[in-house]
Amino acid sequence: MSGFDPQSIRKDFPILNHKVDGKALIYLDNAATTHKPTSVIAEEKRYYERWNSNIHRGIHTLSEEATRRYEAVREKVARFIGASHPESIVFTRNATESINVVAHGWARKNLKPGDEILLTTIEHHSNLVPWQLTAQATGAKLQFLPITPEGQLDLSKLDHLISPRTKLVSFTAMSNVLGTITPVREITQRAHAFGAKVLVDGAQAVPHIPFRLSDWQCDFLVFSAHKMLGPTGVGVLYGRPELLDEMDPFLGGGDMILEVWRDHARWNEIPWKFEAGTPNISGVIAFGPALDYLERLGMENVRDHERDLTAYALKRLAEDPKVTLYGPRDAAIQGGVISFNYGEIHPHDMGTLLDKEGIAIRAGHHCCQPLMRDFGVSGTARASFYIYNTKAEVDALVLALKKASSVFEGVTI
């Protein structure tokens, strides 16, 4: 992790100078969205100052320059994840929309009654609800791979759940609640042995874990720019080109067509047949510097920093008997996400009290209500880390938890 200095990194993020109630911001809600470095902010501003124009359709200088920069980021995304073909990269609004593109364009076209879709019990609603709707529309059945008491996927159940009826396996590479890092390649290989397609929700993993598509071997991969230093409103769908070719478009309109008659139309080539209408041009262009920033840091260094920080946080939190931890509790197999509850304090109350100390966490069900029911709780508090977080901030969190507890107990710290 030579040269990786969180204190130096922090200087690139203007919002970290912000104060909350007069206290320095400690931002521990990175699983929801990450902050943006000055290079990303400047690039989005530069687009509106220098290249503001619609893409693909104009033949004037501004349009051609905007198009060039937009498509250059598509190539950059492909390199970042190790995709061989830029046309396998589709820009959407977010990972949720990317999943829906596959649900509508591939699943509804290929699934029939009796077919099965295998998910896991730790999925975000974004990787659950689209498949519920797909099952209702096609007659397919949903199956679920459970977790162990330690918060890892129970792979002993996998051979029982995957069968010739399984047509799609869709699962997260890292849980947004537990931080569980899942064995993507092992699950993918078992699914492919039965001819099933595999979609990996990489919204939490891609910003934090070094990988190549050749390692994971999935058929589809989705993730969002805003969780990896980029702007909001930009999602990515990777799909094997031959699968994207055969899929139906999700949205109809401008730019996704090749020819249109009054009663029918021919679709554009991939990836553009999935990018109807004017996209978030400035956001995609500004995503480029975000990828550059992460590549300069090195994703191995990002993972090492978060593993070290998570191990420290797990140790510090476990020192307090009032803390209940959920998940693996092992930084070697856990990303920088820790869910916990503190005594009898409701997580929403805890989130409010920590905010008074300048500490931003997430509190609630984290778009995983079925998982919360499995744990017998309505929600948890969640601290999630990224490249600019420090051990001093973890110490501040631990102290603030004790202070919050004293508010309910009437004790002064």
Active site residues per annotation: 367
Give the integer Cα–Cα distance in Å for 342 and 382: 11
**Token match 């029939």: residue?**
112
| Closest to 407 in 3D by CA, of 358, 343, 361 | 343
Cis peptide bond upstream of 347, omega within 30: no
Here the tokens at position 11 are: 């200087």
Contact 147, 120 (CB under 8 A): yes
Contact 326, 340 (CB under 8 A): yes
| Closest to 66 in 3D by CA, of 80, 48, 92 | 48
Here the tokens at position 245 are: 């070719």
Give the integer Cα–Cα distance in Å for 353 and 342: 12
Give the integer Cα–Cα distance in Å for 155 and 65: 49
Q: 3-state DSSP call for residue 323?
A: strand
Give the integer Cα–Cα distance in Å for 275 and 303: 32
